[in-house]
Chains A and B, each alone.
Chain A
């Protein structure tokens, strides 16, 4: 049963990641692929603080959010004034460069990562307690996105996504809105990172690689980009699916490539047959 709880925690963390990524690219139309690096910044900050200091977990995780937000604002300030493709390229560089740095930082464990993260809620109910916490935090993040996108802020953000110049000509400050949704989305990824580090007690650079971008993007696209339920459904399907494959008891040399094949096929199939995802409608961007 612990296995189920553990999978639940992982799903919850991916729900946070996919929901916050969807806020940035689905609602905001800001094309970034650097989401895993903010996930990493949250995880590494929380992990290092927990190992090096005796600060309580909540403080370490909050610091992780802070670092992710500061880094995202720094990236936003330099790239969001110009629109579109510049952000995509800058985010790619940010993702690859920063991860490479982590890979080479001795105090961050280098390629081996960090494995001595202290235990929280030791005892038989540990996974279940974490499941409750993760579910609550995920619900809060979903509520935050839903509530902000349903109101006047979300309306202006969707207008910006549909037509930047027309939106600005109505008096909306695009730069301010972009920085805010980018910071909030990346802060949520940092939060997911801190929780991930504390629950799994082990992090390494490869968990935050560009392949993780593909996974999170697949969740958003498959579920329904620019919808509230889309990323949630996507996270469930894409965490559960690889687990289901392991039950097939295929040789491990096949499982990895098979997963990759299934993920990419899903994206291609959905883009052609159901571009609005599982839950999306023609009007992606409403609050469904």
Chain B
């Protein structure tokens, strides 16, 4: 079996009376594309927030490449957790390229002095990031948008740029929050191809998605969540054929 990248051990989180994660244990390996499905409010996005450090768990531990994953958002991003957001959250005043350049794990320009004086490490990392960003855009067929302001692009392309920005983080774990919502046609195919390539390159990918056919095409496995718990993990076919889960998802059929 391939290398384990992400491991959750008995992770729990509650907000007041609402349990968003109830003793969740999960393991992801290099090359996995794990689908996360379940009704609204099941805790899918909350699980991403717990892994990426937007919220801290009440109990349990999370490991990335065998090392405990602790601290806030930026520390975990630097450790190698890349994520996207359901509503993209692109930097509206900036171009596509600028959006992406913010996303390198190694960013010596975060020091004001180093940035002003353009030290060698800043110049090198900027050049490297620029190359990487253009490569990613090239792979998506969006190289021509590099200098467009993100909000001027059509929705589907903005969705891809959200992924492109996350891909600037070359870490092992990629969390995609509803990448296909509102995406169709050629952008849909591009999204699929890129996600597949990233997994093949050795990343562990986890996808929250309501589009079952996307999950079916892409995911090696899927997890069904409800009320903060993992009810079942298995192949997408197993999950969609489970009568119990289908009822939870679509509502019980009243005979």
Taking Cβ atoms with an 8 Å cutoff, the residues of A that contact B are 144, 147-148, 151-156, 158-159, 161-163, 165-174, 176-177, 180-181, 184, 226, 283-286
**CA of A177 to CA of B101, assembled, Å:** 17
Contact, CB under 8 Å: B118 / A169: no
Say yes or no: is B158 at the interface (Cβ < 8 Å to chain A): no
The 0/1 profile, CB within 8 Å of A marked 1, for residues 54-71 of chain B is: 100000000000000000
Contact, CB under 8 Å: B72 / A168: yes
Within 8 A of A (CB), among B97-146: 98-99, 101-105, 107-112, 114-116, 118, 122, 126
Q: Given the interface contacts A151-B118, A173-B74, does A158 sit within 8 Å of B94 by beta carbon? A: yes
Q: Given the interface contacts A158-B93, A172-B107, does A148 sit within 8 Å of B102 by beta carbon? A: no
Residue of A nearest to B106 (CB): A171
Q: Quick one: which of A152, A161, A173, A285 contacts B115, CB cutoff 8 A? A: A152
Contact, CB under 8 Å: B77 / A171: yes
**CA of A156 to CA of B106, assembled, Å:** 13
Say yes or no: is B14 at the interface (Cβ < 8 Å to chain A): no
Say yes or no: is B73 at the interface (Cβ < 8 Å to chain A): yes
User: Interface with A: B15-23, B83-91, B187-195, B246-254, which one?
Assistant: B83-91
Say yes or no: is B78 at the interface (Cβ < 8 Å to chain A): yes
Q: Is the interface of A mostly helix, strand, loop or mixed?
A: helix
**CA of A151 to CA of B105, assembled, Å:** 17
Contact, CB under 8 Å: B102 / A180: no
Q: Quick one: which of A155, A171, A284 contacts B74, CB cutoff 8 A? A: A171
Contact, CB under 8 Å: A152 / B107: yes
- 9 closest cross-chain pairs (CB), A and B: A152-B109, A153-B115, A171-B77, A168-B73, A166-B89, A162-B91, A151-B115, A170-B103, A285-B93
Q: Quick one: which of B73, B112, B165 contacts A165, CB cutoff 8 A? A: B73
Among A154, A170, A173, A174, max chain B CB count under 10 A is at A170
**CA of A152 to CA of B92, assembled, Å:** 17
Say yes or no: is B183 at the interface (Cβ < 8 Å to chain A): no
Say yes or no: is B52 at the interface (Cβ < 8 Å to chain A): yes
Query: Inside 8 A of A170's CB, which chain B residues have their CB?
Result: 74, 77, 102-103, 165-166, 168-169
Residue of B nearest to A153 (CB): B115
Taking Cβ atoms with an 8 Å cutoff, the residues of B that contact A are 52, 54, 72-74, 77-78, 83, 85, 89-94, 98-99, 101-105, 107-112, 114-116, 118, 122, 126, 149, 165-166, 168-169
Residue of B nearest to A149 (CB): B115
Contact, CB under 8 Å: B101 / A155: yes
**CA of A181 to CA of B111, assembled, Å:** 11
**CA of A174 to CA of B72, assembled, Å:** 11
Contact, CB under 8 Å: A171 / B109: no
Q: Quick one: which of B54, B83, B94, B149 contacts A155, CB cutoff 8 A? A: B94
Within the complex, the shortest CB–CB distance from B100 to chain A, in Å, comes to 9
| 14 chain-A/chain-B pairs, Cβ below 8 angstroms | A144-B116, A151-B116, A152-B108, A153-B112, A158-B91, A163-B92, A166-B91, A168-B73, A169-B83, A170-B165, A172-B74, A173-B110, A174-B74, A284-B93
Query: Inside 8 A of B168's CB, which chain A residues have their CB?
Result: 170
Among B98, B110, B111, B168, max chain A CB count under 10 A is at B110
**CA of A165 to CA of B91, assembled, Å:** 11
Residue of A nearest to B108 (CB): A152
Contact, CB under 8 Å: B93 / A286: yes
Query: Inside 8 A of B54's CB, which chain A residues have their CB?
Result: 165, 169
**CA of A275 to CA of B103, assembled, Å:** 30
**CA of A167 to CA of B83, assembled, Å:** 11
Query: Inside 8 A of B83's CB, which chain A residues have their CB?
Result: 169
Query: Inside 8 A of A155's CB, which chain B residues have their CB?
Result: 94, 98, 101-102, 109
Query: Inside 8 A of A176's CB, which chain B residues have their CB?
Result: 110
Query: Inside 8 A of B99's CB, which chain A residues have their CB?
Result: 159
Contact, CB under 8 Å: A152 / B110: yes
